[in-house]
Structure 1
Amino acid sequence: MVYGPGEGYSLPGRHGSFWMETTAGVPHPPLSGNIETDVAVVGGGIAGITTAFLLKQAGYAVALIEAGRLSAGVTGHTTAKLTALHRLIYADLIDQFGSDLAQQYADANQTAVEQVASLIREYEIPCDFIRRPAYTYAESPDSRESVAAEADAARSLGLPAAFVEEVPLPGRTYGAVRFTDQAQFHPVKYLLSLASLIPGDGSRIYENTRAVEVRDEKGALCEVRTENGTVTARSVVLATHYPFYDSPGFYYARMEPSYSYVLGVRLDEPFPDGMFINAESPAHSWRSQPAGDGELVLVGGMEHRTGEDVDTREHYRALERYARTIYPLRSVDYRWSTEDYITNDGVPYIGPLADGHENVYIATGFRKWGMTNGTVAGLIITDMIRGRENPWSEVYAPGRFKPVASARRFLVHNIEVAEKFIGGAISRPSGEIRDVRPGEGRIMMVEGEKTGVYRDREGRVRAVNPTCTHMGCIAAWNSAEETWDCPCHGSRYDASGKVIHGPAVKDLAPRGAREE
């Protein structure tokens, strides 16, 4: 008998990203041997592809390296809102960073919307690009004042913002900040089209090539060592969502991983004109998408820290229950999840990795707004490699630290990480291997060793050492995705222990485990 994720536990929709299931990219070969180039870009999502494309246009030879398939990671699991309205951020930026740096963030993200629109026009990219207003709305009267303050702050920075009383969603709302002339698109169609323009004139793309080490000794060329060979370059861009080469900048102490969920649903009525997200927690996000024979509506949210000791399947269920309180759903067609990183002060890190590592650049911590911030990363890093000043580099500088903006979050995050380092205690009785059901994973003591035990849908047992190979935290079982997830820094492994998401670059070690 074949079981679904967790015996007897049904989940809404079929498991898979709409973006990935409606595209068929042209495959690129893996790296084979050693090569030299001007710039090595590691990571094939929106930040990496945009950076590689812009550098190629500027005359550089680029090697773009991706551990799996282009756009199949975080970018392939986004909700793909192309907007400078990032929930509630501008009032906080003005308060904690000052108006000048808040202006940089506002200008950068509004420019990113227009940059994507311009590339789509210039290269005639068919990616379902549609102009839409974006809303952050109050679901409770307690949030109304914050939403109104956000509208005032955004408008003071020259953004196309207004406070509106009416929100074109069913159900009671209490006003919203509305940005006009924002956009939505199909991110994978867009990026695969951009990627197709990169190869040639010395530039190359390599898929299924995992980078495992960076060497950047002062005065020497940089080296990116992969499982298949070494790339030597004058500059390296780490666009891997989380920089696997992070110790020079201690990014593991300055960001936290966050997990969230998406359902693709069908309605019996047209979806209103707009993209929507609430101001409260948990997040509730809405947007529509043309889908061949009609309209798919993407509802997302239910975020939590990666690797929390919870039954993650319940988050899909909770999201479906919430969606049904707003609309009668005709069907739930898709479900997928995604992981994002949030910096201590809420602004991404884009720029040189650290002092003494000026030829290695990072782009990370997009705070769930990667469509614009990933584009911003490409613009900033391209300018830096070209030796040009960029008007937004200060607010995104990785070396910044704003005590007022980030000290509390920095302390809370690192206290939580320290707790995970200290033994990774098993929070519930672990039972025996025979108790593990098909489709289920548990951490238990086996012959005196902490062991991650998974029983597949055919009843076979797989066992791993659950110690994350990045920095030694204990991975937790993700029941919805059937993966081992690190609660400290967000590394993820499949049920057999193979790395599917960094910063880890090594698989979990296998364990011997037998049923008595």
Structure 2
Amino acid sequence: MSNYYDELPQYPESYWLDSTNRPGFPKLDKNEKAEVVIVGGGITGITTGYLLAKEGVDVTILEGDRIFNGTTGHTTAKITAQHELIYDELIEHFGENFAKIYYDANTKALDFIRNTVKEHGIDCQFENKDAVLYGTEEKSVRKLEKEYEAYQKLGIPSELAGSVPFNVDAKRALIMKDQAQFHPLEYLAKLLDEFLAAGGKVYENTTAVSIMTESETGADELEVETSDGHFISCHKVLSCSHYPFYEAEGYYFMRMHAERSYIVAAKGNVEELPGMYLSVDKGEKRSVRTVKINGETHLLLGGEGHKTGQGEPTLTHYENLYEFGKDVFEITDVPYRWSAQDLYTQDNVPYIGPVSALHTNIFVATGYRKWGMTSSTAAAHILKDYVLGNDTPEMEIFSTERFHADPSLKHFFRENWDVAKHFVKGKLQFGQKDLDDIKPGEAAVVRIGGNRAGAYRDEDGELHLVDTTCTHMGCEVEWNNGERSWDCPCHGSRFTVDGDVMEGPAKKGLSKVDDGLS
């Protein structure tokens, strides 16, 4: 394969974030009170805050970084209930009723977004598009036909086709009718305005680290503690922070795994596509949709998913997408590239509900498996109903307490064996380079004073040295050359070149290391 590094943007940047004017919010600098505290300023947190504020609930949102910065700002932004090949699997493991509730919850989420865009007149590139799964391999044909049979059982408007409208040899395509795509942050900006107008509060650069429960506070309230030592007293806490910042007895790090995936935005040989596309072939999955950038049609080409901190050098994944774009769409310009991190549960269904059976006023929403636009919106409605004391069928199927031996037990053992394997592998890995051999823009694992360290030399020649032992469970982090970060292969924590936490479950940053030369 050719090396396309020079044809890709030097640094990753999301088009959604670059094209959105985000308001700034203060950092929490004193103790406060609220009825409900939402941790996380992405689509789940903001949508939930919007819904609750409309009901007259006093809500405060805490965001550890900037609003929209997380997975929400790095999505493909497909609004669809077609979550890859899921419905045949759900029927097989859980039954038709479970699968139907799952589909209905995500369809209601799509309808909510569509109606909200219309109600508020939001200019967010909202377009009705069919969602299409396609396969180029014979083994994919039977999978798509089985999924179509599941659609028929559930009454999902759909059809089977024999091709897709671009240059791949698709042998079968499964179309889910009347789905949508949009610019997620332009949509969320309006919901945020409405939330603030209804009295909601937002604090940025405010990291929630723990919760004091009612038994610990000695009162009928919870206290959310921030990394700066401030507290917000409240009655309910909603963890909408991608990875739950508070796990209690939920042990989510043992019940989920993290994957990264990649997107390039590029000009190509198409002016428009009638749908949003995703291949289902084993291994090389590809996601395709269009978007307007500065008034011109661009393609968003995604895929290359892998477990965080594992696999080949991450820049290679961007190059693979670029090569796909050249072959299929004759792409000529790539103004943006970015990546996202997503969490997978053991049974591929999100966890939405009380964090554990012992903490019924603390809630989580996590494990969206790359389908965050509808999953997050469905989660917001479920969390709203928990807060308001309503009871709905969705609460049961998305319950955090559910466990089904098939497939959960199989996935539990597989994922935790994988963690153990990478834990041992990292401990046996020695330094790869000497410090003097690391060039500007490069990083490597080195040995300093007999200990493993991560070294990155920035473009000005300055070295950034960190201890490579992840502060979550002690695994050894690996260098991500696509995003210039240190990533943990065990549970998906990610850190900057200076060791600051970018993604949980880790709460504490990597220790800095002295090279002994200064």
TM-score (norm: length of structure 1): 0.95
**Correspondence list, 1:178-257, <5 A:** 178-200=175-197, 202-218=199-215, 220-228=220-228, 229-257=230-258
**Structure 2 CA distance for aligned equivalents of residues 201 and 170 of structure 1:** 49
Aligned twin of 2:459: 457
Identity fraction in percent: 37
**Structure 2 CA distance for aligned equivalents of residues 165 and 200 of structure 1:** 50
**Structure 2 CA distance for aligned equivalents of residues 463 and 473 of structure 1:** 17
SS at structure 1 position matched to 2:333: strand
1:157 has 2:154 as partner: yes
Aligned twin of 1:392: 394
**Correspondence list, 1:212-361, <5 A:** 212-218=209-215, 220-228=220-228, 229-280=230-281, 281-361=283-363
Contact 2:315 2:482 in 1 (8 A): yes
- Gaps of at least 5 residues in structure 2 are none
- The one-letter code matched in structure 2 to 1:473 is C
Contact 2:248 2:355 in 1 (8 A): no
**Structure 2 CA distance for aligned equivalents of residues 50 and 8 of structure 1:** 39
Within the candidate set 9, 30, 51, 1:13 is matched to: 9
Contact 1:216 1:360 in 2 (8 A): no
Q: How many residues align?
A: 510
**Structure 2 CA distance for aligned equivalents of residues 139 and 47 of structure 1:** 35
Using the TM superposition, give the Cα deviation of residue 204 of structure 1 relative to its aligned residue in structure 2, in angstroms.
Answer: 0.5
1:61 has 2:58 as partner: yes
Aligned twin of 1:148: 145
Distance change >3 Å, CA 125–CA 148, structure 1 → 2: same
Using the TM superposition, give the Cα deviation of residue 326 of structure 1 relative to its aligned residue in structure 2, in angstroms.
Answer: 1.0
Using the TM superposition, give the Cα deviation of residue 446 of structure 1 relative to its aligned residue in structure 2, in angstroms.
Answer: 1.1
**Structure 2 CA distance for aligned equivalents of residues 489 and 8 of structure 1:** 30
CA offsets, 1:5-26, max 9 Å, x none? Answer: xx99536135310000101111
**Structure 2 CA distance for aligned equivalents of residues 269 and 92 of structure 1:** 34
SS at structure 1 position matched to 2:35: strand
Contact 1:91 1:150 in 2 (8 A): yes
Aligned twin of 1:493: 495
Distance change >3 Å, CA 461–CA 348, structure 1 → 2: same
Within the candidate set 380, 383, 396, 2:382 is matched to: 380
SS at structure 2 position matched to 1:95: helix
- The one-letter code matched in structure 1 to 2:232 is V
**Correspondence list, 1:419-498, <5 A:** 419-422=421-424, 424-427=426-429, 430-498=432-500
Using the TM superposition, give the Cα deviation of residue 392 of structure 1 relative to its aligned residue in structure 2, in angstroms.
Answer: 1.1
**Structure 1 CA distance for aligned equivalents of residues 123 and 508 of structure 2:** 38
**Structure 2 CA distance for aligned equivalents of residues 201 and 22 of structure 1:** 26
**Structure 2 CA distance for aligned equivalents of residues 420 and 471 of structure 1:** 12
CA RMSD of aligned residues (A): 1.8
**Structure 1 CA distance for aligned equivalents of residues 111 and 391 of structure 2:** 20
Contact 2:433 2:445 in 1 (8 A): no
SS at structure 1 position matched to 2:370: coil
SS at structure 1 position matched to 2:65: coil
Aligned twin of 1:3: none
Distance change >3 Å, CA 201–CA 264, structure 1 → 2: closer
SS at structure 2 position matched to 1:392: helix
**Structure 1 CA distance for aligned equivalents of residues 91 and 430 of structure 2:** 44
Deviates more, 1:503-512 or 1:373-382: 503-512
Using the TM superposition, give the Cα deviation of residue 405 of structure 1 relative to its aligned residue in structure 2, in angstroms.
Answer: 1.7
Using the TM superposition, give the Cα deviation of residue 420 of structure 1 relative to its aligned residue in structure 2, in angstroms.
Answer: 3.3
**Structure 1 CA distance for aligned equivalents of residues 268 and 369 of structure 2:** 29
Deviates more, 1:36-45 or 1:399-408: 399-408
Aligned twin of 1:4: none
- The one-letter code matched in structure 2 to 1:227 is S
CA offsets, 1:319-358, max 9 Å, x none? Answer: 1112222111121121101110011110010011001111
**Structure 2 CA distance for aligned equivalents of residues 478 and 141 of structure 1:** 35
Distance change >3 Å, CA 303–CA 11, structure 1 → 2: farther
Within the candidate set 167, 172, 177, 1:175 is matched to: 172
Within the candidate set 501, 505, 508, 2:507 is matched to: 505
Deviates more, 1:104-113 or 1:411-420: 411-420
Using the TM superposition, give the Cα deviation of residue 200 of structure 1 relative to its aligned residue in structure 2, in angstroms.
Answer: 4.7
- The one-letter code matched in structure 2 to 1:222 is L
- The one-letter code matched in structure 2 to 1:383 is D
- The one-letter code matched in structure 1 to 2:143 is S
SS at structure 2 position matched to 1:198: helix
**Structure 2 CA distance for aligned equivalents of residues 17 and 322 of structure 1:** 20
Distance change >3 Å, CA 118–CA 419, structure 1 → 2: same
**Structure 2 CA distance for aligned equivalents of residues 172 and 273 of structure 1:** 18
**Structure 2 CA distance for aligned equivalents of residues 263 and 309 of structure 1:** 19
Using the TM superposition, give the Cα deviation of residue 310 of structure 1 relative to its aligned residue in structure 2, in angstroms.
Answer: 2.7
**Structure 2 CA distance for aligned equivalents of residues 244 and 405 of structure 1:** 26
- The one-letter code matched in structure 2 to 1:337 is S
SS at structure 1 position matched to 2:502: strand
Within the candidate set 98, 101, 116, 1:101 is matched to: 98
Contact 1:426 1:443 in 2 (8 A): no
CA offsets, 1:160-211, max 9 Å, x none? Answer: 2222223222221011110111000000111121111112554211111111
SS at structure 2 position matched to 1:345: coil
Aligned twin of 1:36: 33
**Structure 2 CA distance for aligned equivalents of residues 459 and 206 of structure 1:** 35
SS at structure 2 position matched to 1:353: strand
- The one-letter code matched in structure 1 to 2:8 is P
Contact 1:101 1:395 in 2 (8 A): yes
